[in-house]
Structure formats: C-alpha cells, structure tokens
Amino acid sequence: MTIGDHRAAVVGTDPGEAAVSAPRVGDAMLFGGLLLLTAVIVLLDVRTGEDLQVVPLLVVVPALVSVFGTVRQTGYTAAWIMAVVVTSRLVSGGTFWDVAVGVGFTVLACVLGVGSCLLRIRHATEIARLRSAAVALQRQILRPLPVLTDQVVAHGVYAPIEEDRLVGGDIYEVVESPYGTRVIIGDVQGKGIAAIGAGFAALGAFREAAIREPTLTGVVDALEDAVARHNTFSAQTGEVERFVTALVLGFEGEDRVEAVNCGHLPPHLLHDGGAAAVPLRLTSVPLGMVEFSSEARGAEQFDFPAGATLLAFTDGVTEARDASGAFYPLDTRLGRWAGYGPSEVLDALHADLEAFSGGVRRDDIAMLALRKAPTGNRRRQSGAMSGQGARRAAQTFSEW
C-alpha cells in the first residue's frame, strides 16, 4: 500500500473486525463433518452396547468448534449435540438421577462452548478495533506522499504490520523551509501506542525546527530536546523511556546533500546503473541518548547528482527474513532497479520484500525515494511553505 492511499476513508465494518467474526470453515464442510462424526459415534455406541457408552463423548464437540467457528456455527453445533446426546441418554435408560445428571452435564457443556466462542470473538474484536485505531492514528500523523518541493520529489511506501501489540513507530516527514527541503526518516524503539507517542513528539519538533533552524544540526538538537522531554514525561507517568533512530537530510538545490545520522541505517544511492550505500562517517547516537555520548552531532555532505534516486528506509526492510531465517539482501537486490524511477523502485522493492518474506513481516516498513526536482518544472505543493511565507513562519517560531 502506498502512502498516498492511507487516507482512504473507512466505510462500514472495519476489515479487521469483519475478519474476526468471519467463519474460518464453511457451513457445508462443518455440518457435513458433524453429521459424519455423529453417525460414526452412534454406530460405535451401538456396537459397544451397555458396556461402553460412546455418545456422551460428543459433548466436547461444541468446545472444539468454538475455537474456530462463529457463534452461529457453535450454537447450531451445540443444539445438534444436545439433541443427539440427550436422546441417546433417554433411550439407554437408567435411574432418574443418572439420566438427570447426564442431561444436565450435556446442556452445561454445550452452553459453555457457545459462551467461550462468544467471549473469544468479543475479545478478538476489541483487539482488532484497538489495533485499527492505532494504525489509523499512525497514518493520520504521517504526511501523504508523493510531495514535490523546490528541491526534491519525494515518493514513499509505508506498510504497518498491524498485528496485536506490534504497531511500530516508523516516522517520516518532508518539509520545505527557507533553508531548503528538510527530510527525516526514523524508527522509534519498541512497539505500540507508546512508540507512536514518541514518534509524534519527534515529528512535531521536526516540523517546527525544520522551518526555524538555519542549520541541520540545529534541527537535530531540537529533536533531541523534544525526545528528552517526552521521555521525562513518560518516566513520570510510568511509561518506558524510548530512543529514536533518525536520518535527517537537507537539500538546498545543489548537487550535494547534507546529512545528520542519529543511529539510523545509511541511505542508498541509485545512479548510473548501480546502487550502493552512502558512506556516512559521522553516525551518532539515537535521539534521546545524547547524555550517553561525549561527542557532539555533526553534519556531513555527499553527492546527489541529477537523475539519481536516494533511498532511505527503516530496519523493517533490512531485517525482513525468509522462511529459512536469512535476512533480506538489500544491497544485492537494489542493483536490479537502478534504472527505475523513484516510484517504480519503491513498488519493485516492496513487492520483492513481500515475496521474500512470504508475506510475514515482523516490523513496519517505511521507505522514501528522493530525486531532485526538475529544474524547468518546479512547482510548490498546495499548502507547502516557501519563499516569504516560510520566512515569516521561521520568524514566528524564532520569537517563541
């Protein structure tokens, strides 16, 4: 799914909730198997006679169906089993208390089977609803792409795993400022709502600092302060403190890109039929961990020629595994798409990741493909700040 699609409105029942309550086995297969099982058990009971009554064992069937069936399927199964077992019990005879206990136990077992199915589906629905809300919140925080600024065209793919308690904290943003275009891509430590909160703190600080700060290191210092404040608040409320790996890039229209790497994966440059990682030498500690380092963060520059594509990504790409546990060979695969455009590279890479991992991902995936904006066709995106508007915003922020 591309980032441009993630604002689509949800109409009707959420797909996650619908999947929870959907039958995993068709009615024909389930009830056909139930009739066959009943026939086998009844015939076996007739053959064993009074010495060994087998029909009462059918009371476990509703409990088994409750694990994978719907409430309706479990209810029908329970009703059928009650009819068969109670009839068998009445026909076989016995003392009043033997019959009463047998019938009562059968009814209780069937009711418990239906109740357990109802509780399972209700719990799974609540989890699906919470998971969907977390993913929707995360998508609303992130800007839809592609974005065109005076310096770059930014395409992207964002694919959350959307699994219980595994919603991640991948973040990205593209901001046009008086000092050029600033870009961030990052990954918050951990999963869940708390990780999204830390990511939102970093994103909010970046959106302000990218316009306000004249230097890229100043932007990163503001991000560090924001994550530190968030961690202080988290500690006060009993939450776990988190760090954020981040790659912050600055584009000012030249054939060079400025970068500050805060413990993040280096970007890859696709150009002239080849692909290679950008050798960043000044990698520093992640955001939120500056107190553990004695070295100040520094910016460095690297070449970004016309026609090249700069690919930045989170570790959901490099840590994807196949069925044997082998990691995704990014450096080897990227060379196949060196001649592609930014959006085509992302599509090919995303599809290859899905095929490599068999559709089973353990982490979110965020990828940005950046290319210099065409010189003769630069236009400002609606709502983006540039020129005097961006300078007025920067002046406003500096007065706070």
End-to-end CA gap in the chain: 39
Give the model confidence (pLDDT) of 199-245 as tens digits.
888 999 999 999 999 999 999 999 999 999 998 888 888 777 889 99
Average pLDDT value for residue range 83-91: 81
Q: What is the pLDDT of residues 342-395, one digit of tens each?
A: 999 999 999 999 999 887 777 788 999 999 988 754 444 433 334 444 443 344
Rounded to the nearest integer, the mean pLDDT of the chain is 82
Give 9's pLDDT tier (boundaries 50, 70, 90).
Answer: very low
Position 7 pLDDT exceeds 50: no
* Cβ contacts of 282-285, under 8 Å, gap ≥ 24: 284/260, 285/243
Tell me what the mean pLDDT of segment 23-37 comes to: 85
52 band by pLDDT with thresholds 50, 70 and 90: low
Rounded Cα gap, residues 244 and 234, in angstroms: 14
Cβ-contact 160, 172 below 8 angstroms: no
Of 175, 233, 186, which Cα lies nearest the Cα of 209?
Answer: 175
Q: Averaged over 27-53, what is the pLDDT?
A: 81
**Cα–Cα distance, 300 to 216 (Å, whole number):** 10
Q: What is the pLDDT of residues 54-80, one digit of tens each?
A: 778 888 888 888 888 888 888 999 899
Two tokens, residue 345: 């590279």
Alpha helix positions (H), the chain: 15-21, 27-48, 61-68, 71-92, 96-141, 193-212, 216-236, 315-318, 330-334, 342-357, 387-398
Mean pLDDT of 196-200: 83
Q: What is the pLDDT of residue 145?
A: 85
- Tens digit of each residue's pLDDT (9 = 90 or more) over 125-161: 888 787 777 667 666 678 888 999 999 999 999 887 7
The one-letter amino acid at 198: A
| Amino acid in the structure at residue 177 | S
CB 196, CB 137: distance < 8 Å? yes
Task: Choose between 142 and 258: higher pLDDT.
Answer: 258
Q: What is the pLDDT of residues 265-324, one digit of tens each?
A: 999 999 988 999 999 999 999 998 888 887 888 999 999 998 999 999 999 899 899 888
Sorted by sequence, the CB contacts under 8 Å of residue 239 that are 6+ apart come out as 194
Q: Give dist(CA 363, CA 397) in Å, integer.
A: 35
One-letter amino acid at 144 equals P
Give me the phi and psi of 254, to 5 degrees please: -90, -175
The 3-class secondary structure across 96-146, one letter per residue, is: HHHHHHHHHHHHHHHHHHHHHHHHHHHHHHHHHHHHHHHHHHHHHHCCCCC
Residues 179, 181, 182, CA angle at the centre, nearest 5°? 95
More confident site: 206 or 6: 206
- pLDDT number for residue 54: 75
Could you tell me the maximum CA-CA distance found in the chain, to the nearest angstrom? 97
pLDDT value of residue 16: 59
Q: Between 137 and 182, whose confidence is greater?
A: 182
Q: Given this model, what pLDDT does residue 270 score?
A: 95
Please give the C-alpha separations between residue 129 and each of 13, 117, 162, in angstroms, as whole numbers: 10, 18, 11
Within 10 A of 268 (CB to CB), how many other CB atoms are there?
21
Asked if the peptide bond before residue 146 counts as cis, ω within 30 degrees of 0, the response is: yes
How many Cβ atoms sit within 10 Å of the Cβ of residue 196? 21
pLDDT for res 393: 36
CB 176 within 8 A of CB 199: no
Question: How many CA atoms lie within 13 Å of 188's alpha carbon, on the beta-carbon side?
Answer: 30
